[in-house]
C-alpha cells in the first residue's frame, strides 16, 4: 500500500516546523524520508523500531486532520493514584521520621513496613516495587547494612548482628549533601 500519495513534501516540512516534541518530529522526519524514496524496512532500522510501527506512523498521516495533529499522540491520563494527594503527603511526612514515631517498634523504614503502614493507615495495598517508588519519592534512599569488623569485640559483633537483622534493607532520609554529590 502506498502512503502519502496526496501529501507533498512542502506540507510535511511545514508541519515539521509547527510541531512540538520529539516523537511527532520523528514521525514527520520519517514521512519525509519515505517520500524521498527510503523503504519502510530501512526507516525501521534508522528509528530502531519495527516495520509495523513505521507503517502505523505513515498510515496515520493519511487523514483529513492537519498533519501536525495527526502525528501527535492523544493525551493519556494513566491510572489514578491509590492515595489522594493529601494522604500521599501525610505518608511522606510520616516516613521522614523514624518508624517509632508512627508507633512501630522498628529502627528504620523497610518496604515491608511501609506496605503494612499503607494498608493499616489508608486501607490501600501497594506492591513492594511501588512501596520502593513511594519511599524514593519521599526522599529516602535504600541503605544496605555494612559487614562487621572481624577484629571487634565479640559482644560488639553480637550487638551489630542483632541490629543488622532489624535494619537489613532499610530506607533512610537522604541528606542534601549526598544528593548534591550524586548529581555532580
DSSP of 75-142: P---PPPSS-HHHHHHHHHHHTS-GGGGT---SSB-HHHHHHHHHHHH-----HHHHHHHHHHTTEEE
Pick among 1.10.10, 1.10.287, 1.20.1250, 3.40.50: CATH of 85-182: 1.10.10
Q: What is the pLDDT of residue 167?
A: 56
Could you tell me which of 59, 74, 72, 75 has the C-alpha nearest to residue 24? 72
Phi-psi region of 4 (alpha: psi -120 to 50; beta: other; left: phi over 0): left
pTM listed for this prediction = 0.46
Mean confidence (pLDDT) of the chain: 83
Highest mean pLDDT among 74-83, 121-130, 145-154, 167-176: 121-130
pLDDT of amino acid 171: 66
How many Cβ atoms are within 10 Å of 7's Cβ, its own excluded? 17
- CA end-to-end distance (rounded Å), the chain: 51
Task: Tell me the pLDDT band of 124, cut-offs 50, 70 and 90.
Answer: very high
Q: What is the pLDDT of residue 183?
A: 42
- Does position 13 have pLDDT exceeding 80, yes or no? yes
CB 9 within 8 A of CB 35: yes
Q: Mean per-residue pLDDT for 105-113?
A: 90
18: helix, coil or strand?
helix
Distance CA 119, CA 96 (A): 18
- Range of lowest pLDDT (32-46, 64-78, 143-157, 170-184): 170-184
Joined grid coordinates for residue 10: 512542502
In this predicted structure, the answer to whether residue 135 has a pLDDT above a threshold of 70 is: yes
Per domain, the residue ranges of the chain are: 9-70, 85-182
Question: Which whole number is the average pLDDT over 39-58?
Answer: 93
Amino acid at each position: 500500500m502506498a502512503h502519502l500519495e496526496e501529501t507533498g513534501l512542502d506540507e510535511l516540512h511545514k508541519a515539521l516546523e509547527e510541531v512540538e516534541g520529539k516523537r511527532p518530529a520523528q514521525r514527520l522526519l520519517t514521512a519525509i524520508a519515505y517520500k524521498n524514496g527510503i523503504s519502510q524496512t530501512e526507516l525501521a532500522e534508522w528509528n530502531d523500531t519495527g516495520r509495523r510501527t513505521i507503517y502505523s506512523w505513515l498510515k496515520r498521516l493519511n487523514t483529513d486532520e492537519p498533519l501536525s495533529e495527526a502525528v501527535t499522540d492523544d493525551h493519556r491520563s494513566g491510572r489514578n493514584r491509590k492515595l489522594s494527594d493529601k494522604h500521599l503527603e501525610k505518608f511522606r511526612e510520616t516516613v521522614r521520621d523514624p518508624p517509632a514515631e508512627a508507633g512501630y517498634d522498628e529502627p528504620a523504614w523497610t518496604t515491608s513496613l511501609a506496605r503494612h503502614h499503607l494498608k493499616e493507615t489508608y486501607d490501600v495495598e501497594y506492591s513492594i516495587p511501588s512501596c520502593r517508588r513511594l519511599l524514593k519519592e519521599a526522599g529516602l534512599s535504600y541503605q544496605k547494612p555494612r559487614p562487621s569488623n572481624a577484629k571487634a569485640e565479640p559482644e560488639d559483633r553480637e550487638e551489630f548482628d542483632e541490629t543488622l537483622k532489624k535494619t537489613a534493607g532499610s530506607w533512610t532520609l537522604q541528606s542534601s549533601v549526598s544528593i548534591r554529590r550524586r548529581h555532580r
